[in-house]
Each structure stands twice: as C-alpha cells, then as structure tokens.
Amino acid sequence: MVSLIDKLREILRRARERFLGRIPRVIRRRPRVYRIYMYEVRVSGVVIPPKEVQKKTRYKETTLIQFEISFEDRPYFRTFTDNPIDAERRYRPILEDLAKQLERHPSVRKCFTYFVEIPKSQMTMQDYLSSPEPKDVIRRAGPNTLIKVFGKPTLVVKDVSFEPVGYFDVSEDEFPIIKGEASDTFIFKVYRPNEDIPYAEVEDEFIHPL
C-alpha cells in the first residue's frame, strides 16, 4: 500500500520533470563580435650594401637606395588596436623585425646588384635560391667551389607610419580568430636616390598578431 509520503514524492517528481521539460537542453551562446581596424602602413628606410662589396666606410643617406614596405591594398594592415599612435608604438618592433627577415628573402636580394662569392659548402637555402648561377651547375660543384650569389643587404628602418582607413565588425562564426593572428599582403619596393618610381617590387604575406 502506497503511503501518503510516497504519493507526495511522486507528485513532486512529475512536477519537476514537467518544469525541466520546458527548459531547452542547450542554450546557444551568442557569438562574440570583433571590431577590426584597418591601417595603411608604410615602413621606409635605406639599404646598406653588404660589407663584402662596400667601397666606402661611411655612406650618405641621400646616395643610398631607399626601400619601402607598404600595406596599401584592402584589407590593409588589420589589428584590434583602434588608436594609430598606439598601433605604431605596438607594431614598430615587429615591422623592424620584418625588415630584418627580408634581408634574407631571395626575391628581395635579387632586387640589388650586390654579388659575392662563397664556397658551396657555406651556402644557405636563401643563397641557393638567390644565386644567378644555373642550378645544375651549383649541384655539380664541389664543396669548395666558389658560387656567385646575391649579397645580403642591410635594411635600416627610418620611419613607420599608420594611417587609419576604417574598420569592420565580424562575429567569430564569420571570421574565426585563429591564435589572434592575421595574414596581410605587403609590397616591398626599392627606389634609386631622388627617384619617386620604384625600379623593383616584391609582394608577399606577413603574419602578425591582431
């Protein structure tokens, strides 16, 4: 025989089940919205010839080849930083490091007529890719054979500028933020002294923190 207490327990259990049945099992979290700012970024400076081919101990900047690294096409340079002064302060060391990386970039080294000769055994992959010598000649050469390669210049950054060009909002569903990084396209340009039109350009991607 069912006791009064058991009946009350059964009534409370059914009432609880009806109540819980009205609550969705999964409450969808509203996607987070990110505001991303776009900047037209320009990094400018001078090119110091490799030590092996330097003809002077000191060079006047007005006589040196000039370079520019620019993010000038949409989506430009993307970041969460909304203030251009803060953006310049934050990213200048990163962009200076980019300039250092480009010193070894095979296509960038080919922008200049700095040639050096090094033993094949000392060649790096960048040397191999930037050598004007036929690749089969390099492969057949002995370890001590001197191979002509484009020299590694030194890129000295003089100025960095950030110009705001707008912003856009995206949800994490539309634009997943992977490791908080963006890959933006830049153009490396080189100019002869007192010329406004670049004589060579190299386009590449730069991965940087947002």
Residue 94, pLDDT score:
97
Q: How far apart are CA 162 and CA 84, in angstroms?
A: 6
For residue 91, the tally of other CB atoms under 10 A from its CB is 21
Q: Show the CA angle centred on residue 32, arms to residues 31 and 34, nearest 5°.
A: 135
Q: Tell me if 106 sits within 8 A of 129, measured CB to CB.
A: yes
Q: Identify the three-state secondary structure at position 140.
A: helix
Q: What is the pTM of this model?
A: 0.75
Residue 30, pLDDT score:
77
Q: Give the pLDDT band (50/70/90) at residue 150.
A: confident
- 161's CB contacts (< 8 A; 6+ apart) are 41, 42, 88
- Express each pLDDT in 41-68 by its tens digit: 999 999 988 777 666 667 677 778 999 9
Q: Tell me if 204 sits within 8 A of 105, measured CB to CB.
A: yes
Q: Is the pLDDT of residue 27 over 60?
A: no
Residue 116, pLDDT score:
78
Q: Mean of the pLDDT values across residues 186-209?
A: 94
Residue 54, pLDDT score:
62
Residue 75 is classified by DSSP as T
Indicate the helix (H) or strand (E) that contains 40: strand 33-48
Of 114 and 156, more confident: 156
Residue 20, pLDDT score:
52
Residue 9, pLDDT score:
62
Residue 6, pLDDT score:
58
